[in-house]
């Protein structure tokens, strides 16, 4: 098993021997070299000592958040009627899984599908509130 990826990573032993990351970096994390395509995004994030590549998925859903950086308590609802999916949510998926974090609402579902991943990447780079929400309550991928 790899040693701790970053200083400041705290691992908690969960039931059955599964490991979960509860915190990956302090709030002063910075992200750069953002990338996005379709409904995926990524960045290189730094805690001042080490860097880590993170990747996530963007989701257009019928549920909206009340502000940028709002973290959903559970899954967001994707409506069968695609026209209702106008709210952009972002979630880290690798190497850790985060909660869904709200970033924007669009007028049309097509706009959301086109711009959501880029909005996630830009918020990860430039919005501290959004980054804090994304890096809070992380779980190690595959758990």
**125: its two tokens:** 């780079």
pLDDT band for position 21 (50/70/90)? very low
Burial (0-12, 13-18, 19+ Cβ within 10 Å), 104: buried
With a CB cutoff of 8 Å and minimum separation 6, the contacts of 99 are 71, 72, 73, 91, 133, 136, 137
pLDDT confidence of residue 85? 96
Please say if the pLDDT value at position 28 is more than 80.
Answer: no
Alpha helix ranges (H) inside 5-108: none
pLDDT band for position 82 (50/70/90)? confident
Cα–Cα dist 136/98, whole Å? 7
> Whole-number mean pLDDT of the chain?
80
pLDDT in tens, 47-70: 788 898 999 999 999 999 999 999
């Amino acid at each position: 098993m790899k040693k701790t990826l970053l200083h400041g990573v705290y691992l908690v032993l969960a039931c059955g021997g599964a490991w979960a990351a509860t915190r990956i970096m302090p709030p002063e994390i910075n992200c750069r070299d953002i990338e996005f395509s379709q409904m995926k995004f990524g960045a290189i994030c730094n805690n001042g000592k080490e860097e880590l590549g993170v990747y996530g998925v963007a989701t257009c859903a019928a549920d909206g958040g009340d502000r940028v950086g709002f973290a959903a308590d559970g899954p967001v609802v994707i409506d069968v009627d695609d026209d209702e999916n106008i709210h952009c949510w972002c979630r880290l998926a690798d190497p850790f899984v985060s909660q869904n974090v709200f970033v924007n609402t669009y007028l049309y579902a097509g706009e959301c599908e086109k711009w959501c991943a880029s909005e996630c990447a830009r918020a990860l780079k430039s919005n501290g509130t959004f980054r804090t929400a994304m890096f809070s309550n992380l779980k190690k991928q595959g758990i």
